Amino acid sequence: MTIHARPSDIAFAPAIRPAETPARRRRVGGSPRLTPRSLGPAGILIGPALLVLVWEFASQVGWLSPRLLAAPSTAVVTGIEMIADGSLSDHFLASAWRAYAGLAIGLAVGVALALVSGLSRIGEATVDGTVQVKRAVPTLALIPLAILWLGIGEAMKVAIIATSVLVPVYINTHAGLRGIDMRYVELARTVGLTRLEFVRKVALPGALPGFFTGLRLAVTACWTALVVLEQINTTEGVGYLMNRARDYGQTDIIVVGLAIYATLGLASDFAVRALERRALGYRKVIGS
């Protein structure tokens, strides 16, 4: 049977358009829309850059008093002077050591607990509930107990940072382990992988996406905790500089300290993103 199309059907039939690709858009004269994401990691700096420009303008025209907040240009000059006279390097290294020592310990403990909980029913019954209780308690609320147990020295600060890092690493790595396709588990049993081989060849690779999500949260958490901890009985560190500058009303030094924290936090996040793209090159990393 032959079907005849009426002219009205043809007139109002939707046009079938070929799939649009970047090459086709360029060929027909269009251009891809420029977005912050299309600019890569530098795209997230557009908002902060605009904020700094507005801040500088407000300071230069007198809308913002230097007693309340120093201008960015003033803070830059102060930072250069502190680098030149060597007064910043020791404080910077002290802060970096605290942050990254706590980060390393928290990562190791978080991954170990996630493996114990994610690969064993007994481990999940004993570990997961404990970590969830810790998750409900703010890390900084543990400072009084940490001071009683460890004193007010470096050990307390590193321990608190490690505790703040542990939770996001554990939660996301544990979720990654729980999300492993059961077909891979059955295949590992079929080929006779040992427990250690299963962890190395199946569990750890399967948990990597979740681990990197937790790691990105962890590098932010370690610097957030450090800001508070360096206000407690310290004689060196970026937080100590800021605390002393507050007593003397030196807002330019406070801005320098905030800029250091922000720069180190962003640099750590970019490093994790680069490592994630390298380790997970077999898939598209959304949002990187």
User: Residue 202 — very low, low, confident or very high, per pLDDT cuts 50/70/90?
Assistant: confident
Tens digits of residue pLDDT in 46-89: 877 888 899 889 888 888 888 888 888 888 999 899 888 888 88
Half-sphere exposure for 102 (CA within 13 Å, toward CB): 30
Tens digits of residue pLDDT in 234-280: 888 888 888 888 888 888 899 998 888 888 888 888 888 888 888 87
pTM of the model: 0.73
Give the CATH number of domain 72-279. 1.10.3720.10
Count of all residues that appear for the chain in the document:
288
Which residue type sits at 16?
I
Query: Cα–Cα–Cα angle for 93, 98, 101, nearest 5°?
Result: 110
Residue whose tokens read 């007010």: 152
Q: Exposed, middle or buried: residue 124 (CB in 10 Å: 0-12, 13-18, 19+)? A: middle
Q: Where are the alpha helices (DSSP H) in 179-237?
A: 182-190, 195-198, 204-229
CA-to-CA distance for 248 and 259, rounded, in angstroms? 19
Task: Of 102, 264, 111, give the one whose Cα is nearest residue 177.
Answer: 111
What integer best gives the mean pLDDT of the chain?
80
Q: Which residues of 149-170 are buried (b: 16+ CB within 10 A; e: fewer)?
A: eeeeeeebbbbbbbbbbbbbbb
CA-to-CA distance for 193 and 101, rounded, in angstroms? 35
Percentage of the chain exceeding pLDDT 90: 14
Domain boundaries defined on the chain: 72-279
DSSP conformation class of 17: P
Higher per-residue confidence, 127 vs 47: 127
**Residue 3: what pLDDT?**
45
